[in-house]
């Protein structure tokens, strides 16, 4: 029985990047032997075990073959006679098909992964790559993580074949959002969309956004630059930026197709609804600002308007007058702080008694908030 560090940890070490998680492959062992050695079985589809002390994942060396369409359409074979090279051969890219012997530091690299790391190439291992649609999303995500890496010509052809064969249509919705949301959080998300567009996957996975980009090429280019410039921005914020010019029905359809989480969906809908107010030529009035805060439920969820303002600031670089958008964002932030200082408890006693309970009190509260916002605007 012999264990090797495999996959991303080896790749990241060669890149000089920290390896946050280590995956292990065990050669020459049976499930019973792993349990006898103190490992805890956790794998449902194939034998995976947790180390008794480190709790890192140890998987038995295995092979796989395609049995049906989609991500789950594989049959796995794990046995003591499966070699390390056979296990590595089932992986997606050469840079992910390396192993490290922890005893002496020997690099096991049967497919030239180290050379592709140095050259900055995303290259598939075999034609079996095209059998798993998730691999397409992973390549796109890796392109966003490492902008200097290019997709090898042969791999690009395989991505196109995967789309043409309809494999991308078999993607599990949750996996789409899982991979794309991770790509949106990478340093250069525009590269992810470039890869998806060039192989034809974007038109299948996000037809609403693809159609908008096709009809608004220059604005789409500006949007991609804005995404790349939003260093460290959350995936939900960048997704909302992608949706800013779409109709609400299109956003809902997109989110349903990808099973986008509710918070990200709601932020996208909010940004698309309010964006016209942020960049219109007309001045922003105190009434406009307060109405926006009401629509965004800023009194109960002030953190959401803060995220929306960050999204608007990112989108500011896509319009002719970015400074106007920046000013509007500052005005709305000031309006929120001023209005938050107003509550039922701060209303004058006479006004509170005259208003009583119910709608009249709500109207009095809103008028006081509007006055506070107007006073703030007058000072700008």
The tens-digit pLDDT sequence of the chain (380 residues) is 999 999 899 999 999 988 778 999 999 999 999 999 999 999 777 789 999 999 999 999 998 765 444 444 456 788 899 999 999 998 999 999 999 999 999 999 999 999 999 999 999 998 888 878 899 999 999 999 999 999 999 999 999 998 998 888 888 788 889 999 999 999 999 999 999 999 999 999 999 999 999 999 999 999 999 999 977 789 999 999 999 999 999 999 999 999 999 999 999 999 999 999 999 999 999 999 999 999 999 998 999 999 999 999 999 999 999 999 999 999 999 999 999 998 878 887 766 766 667 677 878 888 899 999 999 999 87
Q: Give the DSSP letter string of 255-291.
A: HHHHT--HHHHHHHHHHHHHHHHHH-SSPPPHHHHHH
Residues 22 and 85 placed together within one structural domain of the fold: yes
Neighbouring C-beta atoms of residue 29, cutoff 10 Å: 22
Residues 107 and 145 placed together within one structural domain of the fold: no
Residues 82 and 96 placed together within one structural domain of the fold: yes
pLDDT at res. 354 = 66
Report helix, strand or coil for 69.
Answer: coil
Instruction: Cite the DSSP H helix spans in the chain.
Output: 8-15, 31-36, 84-89, 113-119, 134-145, 153-164, 173-184, 189-198, 201-205, 207-215, 217-229, 235-242, 248-258, 262-279, 286-295, 302-315, 322-340, 349-355, 359-378
Residues 109 and 125 placed together within one structural domain of the fold: no
List the structure tokens of 291: 């109405």
| Domain residue limits at 83 | 1-114
Domain CATH code at residue 108: 3.30.460.10
Pick from 98, 114, 130: which residue ends a domain?
114
C-alpha 192/C-alpha 209 separation (Å) is 14
Residues 107 and 125 placed together within one structural domain of the fold: no
pTM of the full predicted structure? 0.87
C-alpha 209/C-alpha 201 separation (Å) is 12
Which residue, among 144, 82, 146, 88, has the nearest Cα to 112 in the 3D structure?
A: 88
For residue 289, tell me if it sits in a domain: no
Q: How many domains does the chain have?
A: 2
Residues 67 and 133 placed together within one structural domain of the fold: no
Residues 65 and 148 placed together within one structural domain of the fold: no
pLDDT at res. 70 = 46
Pick from 154, 185, 205: which residue ends a domain?
205
Residues 60 and 1 placed together within one structural domain of the fold: yes
pLDDT at res. 350 = 65
- CA end-to-end span of the chain: 72
Residues 109 and 155 placed together within one structural domain of the fold: no
Residues 110 and 162 placed together within one structural domain of the fold: no
Residues 82 and 158 placed together within one structural domain of the fold: no
pLDDT at res. 73 = 47
């Amino acid at each position: 029985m012999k264990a090797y560090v495999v996959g991303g940890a080896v790749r990241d070490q060669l890149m000089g990047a920290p390896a946050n998680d280590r995956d292990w492959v065990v050669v020459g062992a049976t499930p019973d032997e792993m349990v006898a050695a103190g490992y805890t079985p956790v794998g449902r589809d194939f034998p995976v075990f947790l180390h008794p002390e480190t709790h890192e994942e140890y998987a038995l060396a295995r092979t796989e073959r395609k049995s049906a369409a989609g991500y789950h359409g594989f049959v796995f074979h794990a046995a003591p006679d499966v070699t390390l090279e056979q296990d590595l051969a089932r992986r997606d890219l050469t840079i992910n098909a390396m192993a490290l012997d922890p005893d002496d530091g020997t690099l096991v690299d049967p497919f030239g992964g180290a050379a592709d790391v140095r050259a900055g190439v995303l290259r598939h291992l075999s034609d079996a790559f095209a059998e798993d649609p998730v691999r397409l999303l992973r390549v796109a995500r890796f392109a966003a993580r490492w902008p200097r890496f290019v997709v090898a010509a042969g791999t690009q052809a395989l991505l196109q074949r995967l789309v043409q064969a309809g494999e991308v249509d078999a993607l599990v919705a949750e996996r789409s959002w899982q991979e794309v949301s991770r790509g949106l959080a990478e340093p250069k998300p525009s590269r992810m969309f470039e890869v998806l567009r060039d192989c034809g996957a974007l038109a299948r996975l996000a037809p609403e956004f693809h159609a908008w980009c096709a009809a608004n090429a220059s604005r789409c280019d500006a949007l991609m630059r804005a995404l790349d410039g939003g260093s460290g921005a959350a995936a939900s914020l960048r997704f909302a930026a992608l949706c800013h010019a779409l109709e609400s029905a299109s956003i809902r359809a997109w989110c349903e197709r990808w099973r986008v989480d509710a918070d990200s969906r709601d932020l996208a809908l909010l940004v698309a609804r309010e964006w016209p107010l942020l960049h219109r030529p007309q001045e922003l009035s105190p009434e406009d600002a307060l109405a926006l805060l009401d629509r965004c439920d800023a009194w109960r969820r002030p953190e959401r308007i803060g995220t929306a303002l960050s999204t608007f600031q990112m989108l500011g670089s896509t319009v002719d007058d970015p400074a106007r958008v920046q000013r509007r964002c500052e005005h709305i932030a000031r309006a929120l702080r001023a209005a938050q200082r107003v509550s039922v408890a701060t209303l004058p006693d006479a006004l509170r008694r005259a208003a009583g309970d119910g709608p009249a009190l709500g109207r009095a509260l809103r008028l006081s908030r509007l006055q506070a916002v107007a006073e703030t605007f007058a000072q700008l």
